[in-house]
Amino acid sequence: MSILIDQDTAMLMVGITGKQGRIHCKRTLESGSKLLAGVAPGKGGKKVEGVPVFETVAEAREVFPEIESAMVIVPKEFVRDAALQALNDGIKLLVIITEFVPVMDALQIVHEAKKLGAKVVGPNTIGVISPGKSKLGIMPDYIYGKGHIGIISRSGTLTHETASNLTFKGFGLSTCVGIGGDSIIGMNHADVIEMFARDDDTDALVLIGEIGGTSEEMAAAKIKELKLKKPVCAYIAGRYAPENKRMGHAGAIVSGGMGTVKSKIAALEDAGVVVCPTLGKIVEFIDEYNTRTSGRLKSLEPRVD
């Protein structure tokens, strides 16, 4: 199993005819994912890398009714309308790659998704990947080996580095979810932890967080609530960031003593999470756990290209 997506996930891309859309259309197809359609108003009837382009999501789903997942990769001023159209036309998993989406637009999208029973990943995300099965995002899939470790991260770059480090050492991934770096996002760490807790294909979890917001504290509370038995380690970026100064991501800002590295580490450690001071220590934690449990993670399946 995996969470959110698998080898049978049929998807479309909103914004497929743009520069980035064309690039990631090609890369998505090369990954073996089932990208069946694209959407670009005014460009209906065209094709990108052999993928048919439609005027609307509704038109695309008339031809490919199995599509229930979509990736939005359009300029920020068009994200709200594109996302709302997709959700109202039957998309149940929406990944929003675009960053700098206006807060009120993001709030409206998240509210609409909850009303319709859909899931939103992002905005400002690299997306979701289940290595060897499918990806709905913009990550380089060749550095993501297939295995049984789940990653939940606010940072795309740190996700890439962690996935690459684990894969190189022979510890692959079940699913990696980039929840997004904006202040308003569709899913937080806790939401994804709940899914991983039920996933038989995931034997260990890695959380990557940063200053700002309360996602990591909510993750700690969820771990305690679930009495999660799977080992969890975490890394929190921004240890030396000054207060009230945004550091990279829109959501990475400490204000009024909330969202600090100290508060996040304290909450996670109280929940039994091992907090690693560096990304390299994540690999050491996984390796040590594997040794300590007589190879419990030995069934990991690194992909060899």
pLDDT tens-digit series, residues 71-94? 999 999 999 999 999 999 999 999
Residue 181 and residue 257 share a domain: yes
Q: Which residues on neighbouring strands pair with residue 69, listed in sequence order?
A: 11, 93
151, 162 in Cβ contact below 8 A? yes
183, 213 in Cβ contact below 8 A? yes
Question: Does 300 fall in a domain?
Answer: no
Distance of alpha carbon 108 from the chain centroid: 20
40, 81 in Cβ contact below 8 A? no
Can you tell me the distance from the alpha carbon of 213 to that of 276, in angstroms, rounded to the nearest whole number?
20
pLDDT band at 229 (very low <50, low <70, confident <90, very high): very high
- pLDDT of 255 higher than 70: no
- pLDDT of 185 higher than 90: yes
Mean local confidence (pLDDT), 152-168: 96
- pLDDT of 298 higher than 70: no
Distances in Å between the Cα of 36 and the Cα atoms of 2, 47, 68, 125 are 21, 11, 11, 22
Question: Does 2 fall in a domain?
Answer: no
So what's the pLDDT on residue 213?
87
Cβ-based neighbour number of residue 142 at 10 Å: 14
Mean local confidence (pLDDT), 149-171: 95
- Asked about 24 being catalytic, the answer comes back as no
So what's the pLDDT on residue 5?
98
**Number of domains within the chain:** 2
Range of the domain at 195: 139-292
- Count of alpha carbons within 13 Å of 161, Cβ hemisphere only? 13
Q: What is the CATH number of the domain that holds 85?
A: 3.40.50.720
Secondary structure of the chain: what % helix, strand, coil (to 5)? 35, 20, 45
What 3-state DSSP class applies to 7? coil
Q: What is the Cα Rg of the chain in Å?
A: 19
Residue 26 and residue 100 share a domain: yes
Considering 24, 160, 189, 249, which one is annotated as catalytic? Answer: 249
| Angle between helix 156-168 and helix 279-292 axes, rounded to 10 deg | 40
Question: Does 63 fall in a domain?
Answer: yes
